[in-house]
Structure 1
Amino acid sequence: MAKTNPFEFLQEVREEANKVAWPSRREIMISTAMVFIMVAIASVFFLIVDSILHRGVQWVLGLAG
């Protein structure tokens, strides 16, 4: 296994980092907004499913008032 000195390693890391296609600020903001929207939708969905299951279990156990 070939050993590389730390300076060569850092230079190679810098070269590779320059090859990365970084997203623009606008793309990051849109992606972040989409994540928040999807989290909100998933939260509402699971709230509804949980409520339905809760009522169903109460009905099966005869605890419904």
Structure 2
Amino acid sequence: MATTNPLQFLQQVRAEVSKVTWPTRREVALTSVMVFIMALLTAIFFFFVDWMIRTGLNMVLSFFGS
């Protein structure tokens, strides 16, 4: 296993970071808004699924209950 000294390691890290394509401020804002919208839609979807299951279960239990 080859070992590198800390100076070489930092130089390699700097070289790799310079290759990264960083998103613009507008891209970050747009994708953040999309994530919040998708999270809201998912929450609404699961709220209605939960409501339907709860309603159906209550109907079954009231039918067979006393």
Question: With structure 2 as the length reference, what TM-score do the two structures score?
Answer: 0.91
| Rounded Cα–Cα distance in structure 1 between residues aligned with 2:55 and 2:2 | 65
Are residues 1:50 and 2:26 paired?
A: no
How large is the RMSD of aligned CA atoms in angstroms? 1.0
5 Å-filtered alignment, 1:23-62, equals 23-62=23-62
Q: Which runs of 5+ in 1 are unaligned?
A: none
Aligned twin of 1:11: 11
Structure 2 residue ranges without an equivalent (≥5): none
Of all paired residues, the percent bearing the same amino acid is 48
- If asked which structure has higher relative contact order (CA below 8 Å, sep 6+), I would say 1
Aligned length: 63
